[in-house]
Amino acid sequence: MLTTIQIKSAKAQERAYKLADSGGLYLLVQPNGSKLWRYKFRVGGVEGKQSFGAFPEIGLAEARGLHGDSRKLVAQGINPVQAKQELRVVQAQEQLERERGTFAAVMADWNMATAASLRPSTVKQRQREIDNDLMPKLKNRPMDGITRLELTALLKDVEKRAPEVARNLRNHLWGVFEYAIDSGLMDNNPVPPLRVMKKRNQSNHPALAGEQIGDFLRTLDAATTINEETRIAMLLVLLTACRKAEVIEARWDELDLEAAHWEIPAARMKAKRPHWVPLSGQAVELLTRLRKIVPAGREHLFPNRLDPRRPMANRSLNALIERLGFGGEGTPHGMRAAFSTHFNSLGASVDVIEHCLAHVPANAVRAAYNRHAYQDERRVMLQAWADHLDCARKDGLTPTLRKVA
């Protein structure tokens, strides 16, 4: 029988040679100096060979242990090489089944099954939410081991930071677990009902209070990880008192920066009437800066980064507010409410305020509605609003506005 000293002392020769141990186990010494463990056996009259690896990675004792296991199989008339291959197949299948039932695997299948019907930007946003808040805790968990209690806790934790993201995640989770049920992986959906989430206020969009406007602007100005185009879009929503969609879908041919006004066509307005917007000096400055940032030839002020022919993703500004820590306290649409509250508290003309907001009086006749009405007053009001915002962002000051219009 071989010893470790003999094995270490074995030198390479011009031709390969064998050093026998016992029971068909031997060491094959190659001309290049490598030393390989081999087992020669016979099953059913057919000779076979099995490899156990190389010395010294596989030592003498380990080689004998592997040899002993294989000899037991041979004694039962089982080819050890075939048995090892079959075991690998079974183990691979078992591993595949385990992986198939994990949250990450089912999520990947669900994503693939549902992505085709969604916009690329929506798919990207969905994946970002999943990667940020679901994968770190659920990635390798078996689907049937995830409980309603832990999903509720996870969603509530996210809800403290970003209520809308939490609602989105709850919807994603519902879809994934329904997909798992349809795939035969589980019987019941553990996702908590929608009633456990905070109710979304459908009638009013959360608006920042007067003293919060300055905090928000300073936070927005100081943020270093915010895309500059998104920052400018948020500021323009504030400065113009326009709806989010009107701003992010704006086109360069609607603007006249020299005359400092913006003509929004009827097709893009909620009331399907064109809207004239006087631009404050601050708004013109922002748009001039934006013109230098956006590549020449782009139709939109805020082209989508994935598809420049389309505007910025609809939820970009909501996501920005949440990232800055104001989720649940304000929304892009709520900025219009802040504008209205300020000027109504000053006793400003309701008609001028409503025209700035593109609110058409209930009794207004389409033909009689004049989008250019109160032109001078609206320009004064929006400039006063821009100046107010500048003061609010400085040292937390919230100035008293002079009465306008």
Catalytic positions, please?
A: 243, 270, 333, 336, 359, 369
| DSSP, res 207 | -
β-pairing verdict for 35-43 and 17-20 = unpaired
Q: Which residues pair with 300 in a beta bridge?
A: 251
Distance CA 306, CA 174 (A): 27
Strand (E) or helix (H) holding 275: strand 275-278
In sign, the C-alpha dihedral spanning 255, 256, 262, 263 is negative
Distance CA 325, CA 147 (A): 29
Q: Are 333 and 318 in contact (CB under 8 A)?
A: no
127 burial level (CB within 10 Å; 0-12, 13-18, 19+)? middle
Strand (E) or helix (H) holding 48: strand 46-55
β-pairing verdict for 17-20 and 25-29 = antiparallel
Cβ within 8 Å of residue 83, ≥6 positions away? 73
